[in-house]
Structure 1
Amino acid sequence: MITLVPLDVINPTAVEMLLDAAFGPDRFTRTAYMIRGTGTPIAALSFAAVEDGVLVGSIQCWPIALIDDDRQSPLVMVGPVAVSPNRQGDGIGRSLVARVLEAAAANGLDDALMLIGDPDYYGRFFGFSAERTAFWDAPGPVERHRLLARGTAVPDTAGILGPRTAKTIPVTASV
């Protein structure tokens, strides 16, 4: 049986090993890493999937922004969603994303979520779309149709995605 727990109770080395197994050791060169920068993931929105004491999946969320000149429109970047290669297709990633959306709603952080991912999958199951992201840029290569967002405060303006440099996200409720 899979149990979802806060990611910060998991050994960070185990998380890094899972991320390497899921995405390869060159994962740090991906555009998503450039977007979120060297910041810290949002603890209230980062979870691990554990089965019989073994880490089989993880998800992290990051405070980022759509930056246009000096203005920052705050966003929460969902991902990476990592699942052990031998457990992919078992619904673990889907459970992790659903848990993040639940926690984001409980903490008032669900009004501007974004991710880079498969539009058919994330649209069908979670309501993400590229409808408001047409004017967004990224600091590295990205297929435009994979820039997805959901929420009432998603900016429909031009800008480049990057780490949020303003204050941290206020979390008003615990999960």
Structure 2
Amino acid sequence: MIQLVPIEMVEPATVEHLLDRAFGQDRHTRTAYRLRAGTRALSGLSLALLDGRALIGSIQCWPIRFDGDDGSSRPLVLVGPVAIAPERQQEGFGRRLMEASLAAAGETLPLTLIGDPEYYGRFFGFSAAATAGWRLPGPVDRHRLLARGRDIPIGTGSLGPRVDVIAA
């Protein structure tokens, strides 16, 4: 039986093993990891899918911030990674995790992610419309930097970890 649970119910090492299998052990060099450095995944938005006792998928959401060139600072949530065990991909589990996490976030929470614009735009309402002036702590394909929700910052500025939510 497939069960959706808070990610805190799964051993962190098991989640890390799934992420290595889904994205490779070099995943820590990616820009998204720099964005969330020093923070912990947000409870309530970060979820796991279990098949019996086996972890088959996870989604994590992270506290980040936008520091505008105008002096403003706005909290955001970085969505991802969404990881599915390679042998269980194409079964709709990634979509199920996204839907559950987005439902928990509600319509107003400002969210961002780095991902396929056709998929995340079509199914989840993410867009690159507001992100053209955003700077990240590493390389990113501009068309893959997406956002959704109310109060998405518009303009130029930098994304980084939200240090008021410290990792345990």
Could you tell me the TM-score, scaled by structure 2's length? 0.93
Report how far residue 73 of structure 1 moved. 1.3
> Aligned partners of 2:74, 2:42: CA distance in 1, in Å?
17
In 1, Cα distance between equivalents of 2:150 and 2:12: 33
1:85-104 pair list within 5 angstroms: 85-104=86-105
| Equivalence for 2:83 | 82
Tell whether the 8 Å contact from 2:38 to 2:163 is kept in structure 1 after alignment.
Answer: no
Task: Say if 1:21 and 1:138 are closer, same or farther in 2 by CA, change over 3 A.
Answer: same
Hey, what does 1:37 align to over in structure 2? 37
Identity rate, percent: 55
**Is the 2:39–2:163 Cα contact (8 Å) retained in structure 1?**
no
Q: Distance in 1 between matches of 2:128 and 2:68?
A: 19
Letter in structure 1 aligned against 2:100:
R
Instruction: Write the distance in 2 (CA, Å) between the matches of 1:2 and 1:143.
Output: 34
- Counterpart of 1:161 (choices 142, 147, 159) is 159
Cα–Cα, structure 1 residues 20 and 110, in superposed 2: closer, same or farther, change >3 Å? Answer: farther
Q: TM-score, normalised by structure 1?
A: 0.90
* 4+ residue runs over 2 A deviation: 68-71
How many residues align? The count is: 164
Q: Which residue of 2 aligns with 1:151?
A: 149
**Residues in 2 aligned to 1:97 and 1:4: alpha-carbon distance in whole angstroms:** 12
Q: Which amino acid aligns with 1:75?
A: L
Give the Cα–Cα distance (whole angstroms) in 2 for the partners of residues 110 and 157 of structure 1: 19
Moved more, 155-164 or 65-74: 65-74
**Residues 110 and 54 (structure 1), Cα distance of their counterparts in 2 relative to 1, 3 Å cut:** farther
Aligned positions of 1:22-61 closer than 5 A: 22-61=22-61
| Shift of residue 67, structure 1, vs aligned partner | 1.5
Distance 2:81 2:93 in 1: 13
The superposition leaves residues 26-85 of structure 1 with CA deviations (integer Å, 9 ceiling, x where unpaired) of 111000000111211101110001112110000000010111355321100100101101
Runs (5+) with no aligned partner, structure 1:
169-175
Q: Does 1:142 align with 2:126?
A: no
Alignment of 1:107-122 (within 5 A): 110-122=108-120
**Is the 1:101–1:110 contact (alpha carbons within 8 Å) kept by the matching residues of 2?**
no
Measured on the aligned residues, the alpha-carbon RMSD in Å equals 1.3
Q: Distance in 1 between matches of 2:135 and 2:150?
A: 20
2:130 and 2:59 mapped to 1: Cα distance?
Answer: 24
Classify 1:77/1:60 alpha carbon distance in 2 versus 1 (closer, same or farther; 3 Å). same
The answer to whether residue 67 in structure 2 is matched with residue 67 in structure 1 is yes
